[in-house]
Amino acid sequence: MKRKTLLTHMAPLALYALLTGCGKAPEAPTQIDAKTWNLPVMTASASAPVEYTTVGSVVSDQRVEVASRLSGYIREIQVQEGERVRRGQVLARLDAADVEGGIRQTRAAQGAAEAAFRDAQTDLERFERLFERGSVSENEMRKVRLKFDAAREALNQARAGLDTALAQRAYAEITSPVAGTVVARLKRAGDLAVPGMPLLTVESGRGLLFETFVAEGQIAAMAEGKPAVVSIDSLPAPLKGTVTRVVPSGDPVTRSYQVKIALPETVGLMPGMFGRAVFTVGESPSPVVPRRALAERGGLTGVFVLDGEGRARFRWLRTGREWPDRVEVSAGLAADERFVAAVEPALREGDRVMPVEAPR
């Protein structure tokens, strides 16, 4: 019985000795030598901007409602919606029969006034000679001079009336005050044009603005000259604009204030386009790192932070807002920590980094 118990205890030991005798001894892990890199290094600082975003539309700063100064029937309108027009181009013509009749009437009045003036001038010259010889009294001479002055003023009045009538003829042709595009045609040939009633609407393609409305809580941060980034949905890249107008009177219903942003001349930018404006209204305590500093190791995104010996230590980051060239860090990086500003794909944990000047 004892012999059987001894064999039972010895069997596992023998089996283990056999297995370890047949196997190879475990190899020591290969030690990878740390490399030295010359890489740009930055110091983390709290500089993430606090941004405020609003929506709006592109508007023309030169939107003109073209109207007539005369009352008359429209003979023809020479443009259509969407048509490009030049400054001074004829857009419409009115029936000028009444104007032409007025011109003929004022010309006749001017002719009569000229004849009366010549007659008064002849009388004045004749009476002056008679007065010098003492043939007429001073009272008669005074009346002749008065008649001459009245004839002269009547002539001036007739000439002014003719100038006014000729100016009315020019108003029968309605021209464009700006170079732009016809965006609305409000009247047709045969309609009655009334002074002050728009016939056409013309928008200039230059001097475009982005019109938006800012909430009451943010209006204090708005001022003329403040930069803004405007993203138009139909354009591939955002535009850098400048606040040019802040209307200091808010809407009592929406509690918002109108703000207009001047935009640069851009191909494809047209009035009516929808977009978003981003204003920087402050700074947050979260640091910002350049995109080229981010590295991915083991499925995690982070940066290489330098320890006290100048060795690279991978640090996982939790990121927040993103921009084209930088990323906000929500957690994982403290202020004043140094990190590699432009990471190399072959950079490994523990490599030594010799700092060089970080590119701007």
DSSP letter assigned to residue 278: E
- Nearest partner of 247 among 279, 219, 281, judged by Cα: 219
Asked if the model's pLDDT at residue 24 lies above 90, the reply is: no
| Section 12-24 average pLDDT | 45
pTM of the shown model:
0.59
- Nearest partner of 250 among 212, 221, 214, judged by Cα: 214
Which domains, and CATH codes, for the chain? 36-48+285-356 (2.40.420.20), 53-62+204-283 (2.40.30.170), 68-94+172-203 (2.40.50.100), 96-170 (1.10.287.470)
pLDDT at 358: 61
Under a CB-based contact definition with an 8 Å cutoff, are residues 192 and 73 in contact? yes
DSSP string of 163-224, one letter each residue? HHHHHHHHHTEEE-SSSEEEEEE---TTSEE-TT-EEEEEE-SSSEEEEEEEEGGGGGG--T
Asked if the model's pLDDT at residue 3 lies above 70, the reply is: no
DSSP letter assigned to residue 311: B
DSSP 3-state of 266 = coil
pLDDT at 27: 46
Edge to edge, what strands does the sheet with 192-193 contain? Answer: 173-175, 90-94, 72-77, 192-193
Give the span between the Cα atoms of 58 and 127, in whole angstroms.
75
Give the span between the Cα atoms of 345 and 91, in whole angstroms.
65
- Nearest partner of 49 among 278, 234, 314, judged by Cα: 278
- Nearest partner of 259 among 246, 274, 276, judged by Cα: 246
Under a CB-based contact definition with an 8 Å cutoff, are residues 56 and 213 in contact? yes
Cβ contacts of 118 within 8 Å, gap of 6 or more: none
pLDDT tens readout for residues 290-341: 999 999 988 899 999 999 888 999 999 998 888 788 888 988 888 888 999 9
Asked if the model's pLDDT at residue 54 lies above 90, the reply is: yes
Under a CB-based contact definition with an 8 Å cutoff, are residues 120 and 199 in contact? no
Cα of 125 vs its chain's centroid, Å: 71
Asked if the model's pLDDT at residue 23 lies above 50, the reply is: no
Q: How many C-beta neighbours within 10 Å does residue 194 have?
A: 13
pLDDT tens readout for residues 68-77: 888 889 999 9
DSSP letter assigned to residue 275: E
Q: Provide the pLDDT confidence category of residue 85 given band limits of 50, 70 and 90.
A: very high
Cβ contacts of 19 within 8 Å, gap of 6 or more: none
**Which residues is 329 bridged to in the sheet?**
319
Share of residues in the chain with pLDDT > 90 (%): 41
The larger pLDDT score, comparing residue 25 to residue 224, is at 224
pLDDT at 2: 41
Q: Provide the pLDDT confidence category of residue 59 given band limits of 50, 70 and 90.
A: very high
DSSP 3-state of 264 = coil
pLDDT at 70: 86
Asked if the model's pLDDT at residue 137 lies above 80, the reply is: yes
pLDDT tens readout for residues 257-294: 999 999 998 888 989 999 999 999 888 888 888 999 99
Give the span between the Cα atoms of 277 and 227, in whole angstroms.
10
DSSP 3-state of 276 = strand
Residue 195 phi/psi, 5° resolution?
-55, 130
Q: How many C-beta neighbours within 10 Å does residue 213 have?
A: 17
Radius of gyration of the chain (CA): 45
Mean of the per-residue pLDDT values of the chain:
85
Give the span between the Cα atoms of 142 and 48, in whole angstroms.
91
pLDDT at 298: 85
Under a CB-based contact definition with an 8 Å cutoff, are residues 4 and 321 in contact? no
